[in-house]
Structure 1
Amino acid sequence: MTTLFDVETQAAPAAAGPRPRYRVAGLDISLTGTGIATLGGTTRVPTTGRRKDTIVQRNTRMKHITDTVLTEVGHVDLACVEGPVAYTTPGGSTWDRGGLWWRIVSALLERDIPVAVVSPTARAKYATGSGASRKAAVLESAQRRYGAILESDDEADALILRAMGMEWLGTPLAEVPDGHRAALAGVQWPDREAVQAR
Structure 2
Amino acid sequence: MTALFDLTEAPAAPAAAGPWPRLYRVAGLDISLTGTGVATLAGTTLITSSGHRKDTLIQRRTRLKGIVNEVLTAVGSVDLAVIEGPSHHSVGGSVWDRGGLWWLIVDALYARDIPVAVMPPTSRAKYATGNGGSRKDAVLDAAQKRYGAILPNDNEADALVLRAAGLDWLGQPLADVPAGHRAALAGCQWPDREQVTAR
TM-score by length of 2: 0.89
Q: Which residue of 1 aligns with 2:62?
A: 60
Q: Which residue of 1 aligns with 2:117?
A: 116
Give the distance between the partners of 2:158 and 2:104, measured in 1 at CA.
20
Counterpart amino acid of residue 135 in structure 2: R
Q: Which residue of 1 aligns with 2:155?
A: 154
Counterpart amino acid of residue 33 in structure 1: G
Q: Which residue of 2 aligns with 1:24?
A: 26
Superposed counterparts of 1:1-198, under 5 Å = 18-87=20-89, 91=92, 93-198=94-199
Gaps of 5+ in 2: 1-16
Give the distance between the partners of 1:29 and 1:92, measured in 2 at CA.
13
Give the distance between the partners of 1:17 and 1:66, measured in 2 at CA.
37
Work out which of the two has the higher radius of gyration on C-alpha atoms and give 1 or 2. 2
Give the distance between the partners of 2:144 and 2:197, measured in 1 at CA.
28
Give the distance between the partners of 1:110 and 1:84, measured in 2 at CA.
21
Secondary structure in structure 1 of the residue aligned to 2:46: strand
Report the alpha carbon displacement of residue 19 of structure 1 after superposing the two structures with TM: 2.5
Q: Which residue of 1 aligns with 2:11?
A: none
Report the alpha carbon displacement of residue 17 of structure 1 after superposing the two structures with TM: 5.5
Give the distance between the partners of 1:151 and 1:92, measured in 2 at CA.
23
Report the alpha carbon displacement of residue 88 of structure 1 after superposing the two structures with TM: 6.9
TM-score by length of 1: 0.89
Secondary structure in structure 1 of the residue aligned to 2:160: helix
Gaps of 5+ in 1: 1-14
Secondary structure in structure 1 of the residue aligned to 2:185: helix
Identity %: 68
Secondary structure in structure 1 of the residue aligned to 2:126: helix
Question: Are the counterparts in 2 of residues 82 and 120 from structure 1 also a CA contact under 8 Å?
Answer: yes
Q: CA RMSD in A?
A: 1.5
Give the distance between the partners of 2:166 and 2:18, measured in 1 at CA.
22
